[in-house]
Chains A and B, each alone.
Chain A
Amino acid sequence: MKMFEYMGKELFAKFGIPTPKGRMAKTPEEAEKIAAEIGGPCVVKSQVLSGKRGKAGGIKFPNTPEEAKKAAEEVLGMTIQGLPVECVLVEEKLKIDKELYMSITVDGSAKQAVMIASAYGGMEIEAQPEEFIIKRHIDPELGMHPFFAREIVRRMGVGLRTPHGKEMVNIIQTLYKICKEKDAELVEINPLVFSDDRVIAADSKVTIDEDAMFRMKDLPFVEDKSPAERAAANLGLSFVDLDGDIAVMANGAGITMGTLDTLQAFGGTPRNFLDCGGGTGREATAKALDILLGLEPKGLFINIFGGITRCDDVANAFKDVYEARSGFPVPVVIRLVGTNQDAGREILGTIGVEAFDFMEDAARRIIELAK
């Protein structure tokens, strides 16, 4: 789950990472009030889960509370990369002497967290050559220690006895603490700013591991999914919108991708990715079928190779939806093999539906029917 910038900064502040003065506002009046409290030039930043806010005009630099109100009026109600701006962050405008970069993320290949840092942060971080990017893995058994942070700071070319160096050693250790305590799969500060003697997180990007939400009750909830994705996620399933016309349901991410690949190779176009694997029961499977039919596709392709998913559960769900709707509004092809296959086919037989044995044949058939 991605967090808004202001939420990430609240988290930083709570853990002791310095952030600019200011806070979130939902109305121009609030923005004006916050700007008055700050006193002096401000930044009004649109809060959306997307980069490129500056280029889209979503970041303004008012000098007075009145200007801050006007800036907030303009930014609230904007749409940035399809996302409506519902709140802004009003902050002190920092005097920027230098921009740096710091993040911790999970490196799946190394099976460890990795610290990434650069003395050259800001907008162009992705364009920096490799030699300006410092990467060090964090041994999970050793954990984070001051020496690790000092080595990063040394390699960033910052003196360890300077106010900047001392603060950065703290910030690095704190970032890892946030990762572990809040199950963050990404914490990023870009830019980390030197402003006179201060070191300040001028931006925040925090992504919480969705698999850890069960133990993160105190975090605010952020909606970062489309309606169909959300409906599927509420059922514990993963769904991705695509732009074709054959709705697809399969069980398991790999076979779902394999199904999409096969449809495309045969000249069909998938409408979506929907993985209903992992032992999804009858009721959730039926609801997932409803989500797919709600997309108004030209055809529906169900490809099940039962392992932990049981063919009888899928067949019953299929039958439930079939009966509730008195038949399907579009052509449907179902391929059903694996665990409890015979029971599943018997259930389908009661509504006169025949299942395919092979994905290849089934894929060709649905493309033909959906034409």
Chain B
Amino acid sequence: MAIIIDENTNVLVMGITGRQASFHTKQMLAYGTKIVAGCTPGKGGQEVEGVPVYNTVREACEKHRIDASVIFVPAPGTKDAALENMEAGVKTVVIVTEGVPVYDEIDIVAYARRKGAYVLGPNTFGIVSGGKCKMGIPPNQYFIEGDIGVVARSGTLTYEIVGNLTANGLGQSTVVGMGGDRAVGLTFVDVLKMFEKDAQTKAVVLIGEIGGNNEEIAAEYIKEMTKPVVAFIAGKSAPPGKRMGHAGAIIERGKGTYQGKVDALTAAGAKVAPLPFEVPALIKEALGRE
């Protein structure tokens, strides 16, 4: 089980010949990801870590079944790369690239809707199905197989919390990074629905942050869930009106505040951990584990 990707997912790496992409191709292969192809225009015929490189996504699709693509190309070319993958029929597109213009993001998400494709990002660390498949950039050693689903807006904070889960013997079914930007593909609710249906997942960790209203919308769905949800919201100490790095993390006109999110989640039956390393204890409590 697990959601979105598993041990049978055939992966393409977009921009595979770049410095970051080739480094992370090696890491993903070491994790066990089935990377069957790479694509960099003009570099077809080469190999990176033993993976064949093609000039276009369509060319790669002629030779392989591609289930999912992870995009590492620079921001100016990201929209083109995402559209190319979806147009070729790739159903899951993970966009690691940071700094993508917001109107490009809007176009990517709109096309994904039309094609019925899943988009994670832009500006996501990726997705890991514990012990089965990793797409993106998280450090391998902290992600182990288990029954906790994790969904997050922010990357490194997720490593922090997953690292704590793993250190406490709590492995993960799937860890999903939605991306830290303003207009990203999948939402908390999309992913929570998948976890609710997934037989492997027994409890869910939601990692949010101040700004926007994604957590408040998620709270509405959490009311209907049968599985326990533990949340952490970053930005409690942030002064209002200051943009804290993520395009999303800004408190607008009193909306999207820390307290507003905590109240909505608590009212929906989720447990909110005040600090990141308090998540494992709340999960254990919710699942009745020692």
Residues of A within 8 A of B (CB): 106, 108-109, 111-113, 126, 139-141, 179-180, 183, 185, 209, 211-212, 214-215, 238, 240, 242, 250-258, 260-265, 270, 273, 275, 277-279, 305-309, 337-339, 341, 358-360
User: B238, A257: Cβ atoms under 8 Å?
Assistant: yes
B100 within 8 A of A: yes
Given A254-B209, A359-B277, residue A305 in contact with residue B125 (CB < 8 A): no
Task: Kindly list chain A residues whose C-beta atoms are within 8 Å of the C-beta of B184.
Answer: 111
A341 to B159, CA, bound (A): 14
Query: DSSP majority for the A interface?
Result: mixed
Task: Kindly list chain A residues whose C-beta atoms are within 8 Å of the C-beta of B75.
Answer: 211, 214
Task: Kindly list chain A residues whose C-beta atoms are within 8 Å of the C-beta of B156.
Answer: 250-252, 254-255, 277, 305, 307, 309
A113 to B275, CA, bound (A): 35
Task: Kindly list chain A residues whose C-beta atoms are within 8 Å of the C-beta of B163.
Answer: 305, 337
Residue picked from B153, B163, B237, B275, most chain A C-beta under 10 Å: B237
User: B137, A308: Cβ atoms under 8 Å?
Assistant: yes
A139 to B27, CA, bound (A): 39
B196 within 8 A of A: no
B2 within 8 A of A: no
Mind listing 7 A-B residue pairs with CB under 8 Å? A106-B103, A108-B248, A112-B110, A140-B103, A254-B234, A307-B156, A360-B275
Given A252-B156, A257-B209, residue A209 in contact with residue B103 (CB < 8 A): yes
* Shortest distance between the CB of A276 and any CB in chain B (Å): 10
B116 within 8 A of A: no
A215 to B101, CA, bound (A): 10
Binary interface encoding of chain B residues 229-240 relative to chain A, with 1 for a CB under 8 A from any of its CBs, else 0 = 000101111110
Task: Kindly list chain A residues whose C-beta atoms are within 8 Å of the C-beta of B246.
Answer: 253-254
User: B182, A257: Cβ atoms under 8 Å?
Assistant: no
User: B157, A258: Cβ atoms under 8 Å?
Assistant: yes
Given A106-B106, A264-B237, residue A240 in contact with residue B125 (CB < 8 A): no
B183 within 8 A of A: yes
| B86-113 residues at the A interface, CB under 8 angstroms | 96, 98-103, 105-107, 109-111
B155 within 8 A of A: yes
Q: Which residue of A lies closest to B253 (CB)?
A: A126
A183 to B242, CA, bound (A): 22
Given A106-B102, A111-B109, A255-B157, residue A261 in contact with residue B214 (CB < 8 A): no
Task: Kindly list chain A residues whose C-beta atoms are within 8 Å of the C-beta of B237.
Answer: 257, 260-261, 263-264, 270
Residues of B within 8 A of A (CB): 20, 24, 27, 75-76, 96, 98-103, 105-107, 109-111, 114, 125, 137-139, 142, 152-160, 163, 180, 182-184, 207, 209-210, 212-214, 217, 232, 234-239, 242-249, 253, 274-277
Other A-B contacts than A141-B114, A253-B246, A277-B156, 13 sampled, CB-CB below 8 A, are: A106-B182, A108-B247, A140-B103, A141-B110, A212-B102, A238-B245, A240-B244, A255-B156, A257-B245, A258-B157, A305-B156, A307-B137, A308-B96
Task: Kindly list chain A residues whose C-beta atoms are within 8 Å of the C-beta of B180.
Answer: 253-254
Given A262-B276, A264-B237, residue A140 in contact with residue B217 (CB < 8 A): no
Given A109-B212, A211-B75, A257-B209, residue A359 in contact with residue B160 (CB < 8 A): yes
B153 CB contact (under 8 Å) in A185, A238, A254:
A254
Task: Kindly list chain B residues whose C-beta atoms are within 8 Å of the C-beta of A179.
Answer: 103
Given A252-B156, A278-B98, residue A212 in contact with residue B213 (CB < 8 A): no
Task: Kindly list chain B residues whose C-beta atoms are within 8 Å of the C-beta of A264.
Answer: 236-237
A337 to B141, CA, bound (A): 11
User: B152, A254: Cβ atoms under 8 Å?
Assistant: yes
User: B125, A307: Cβ atoms under 8 Å?
Assistant: yes
Task: Kindly list chain A residues whose C-beta atoms are within 8 Å of the C-beta of B245.
Answer: 238, 240, 252-253, 256-257, 273, 275
* Shortest distance between the CB of A83 and any CB in chain B (Å): 15
A232 to B144, CA, bound (A): 36
A32 to B212, CA, bound (A): 46
Q: Which residue of A lies closest to B97 (CB)?
A: A278
A253 CB contact (under 8 Å) in B106, B160, B249:
B249
4 tightest A-B contacts by CB? A254-B154, A252-B156, A253-B245, A254-B157
User: B212, A255: Cβ atoms under 8 Å?
Assistant: no
Q: Which residue of B lies closest to A310 (CB)?
A: B23
* Shortest distance between the CB of B190 and any CB in chain A (Å): 12
Task: Kindly list chain A residues whose C-beta atoms are within 8 Å of the C-beta of B159.
Answer: 255, 305, 307, 338
Residue picked from A273, A279, A307, A309, most chain B C-beta under 10 Å: A307
* Shortest distance between the CB of B262 and any CB in chain A (Å): 12
A209 to B101, CA, bound (A): 7
User: A252, B157: Cβ atoms under 8 Å?
Assistant: yes
Task: Kindly list chain A residues whose C-beta atoms are within 8 Å of the C-beta of B76.
Answer: 214-215
A359 to B243, CA, bound (A): 23
Task: Kindly list chain A residues whose C-beta atoms are within 8 Å of the C-beta of B217.
Answer: 109
Task: Kindly list chain A residues whose C-beta atoms are within 8 Å of the C-beta of B242.
Answer: 240, 273
Task: Kindly list chain B residues whose C-beta atoms are within 8 Å of the C-beta of A360.
Answer: 275, 277
* Shortest distance between the CB of B92 and any CB in chain A (Å): 18
User: B213, A109: Cβ atoms under 8 Å?
Assistant: yes
Q: Which residue of B lies closest to A179 (CB)?
A: B103
Given A211-B75, A307-B155, residue A111 in contact with residue B160 (CB < 8 A): no
User: B234, A261: Cβ atoms under 8 Å?
Assistant: yes
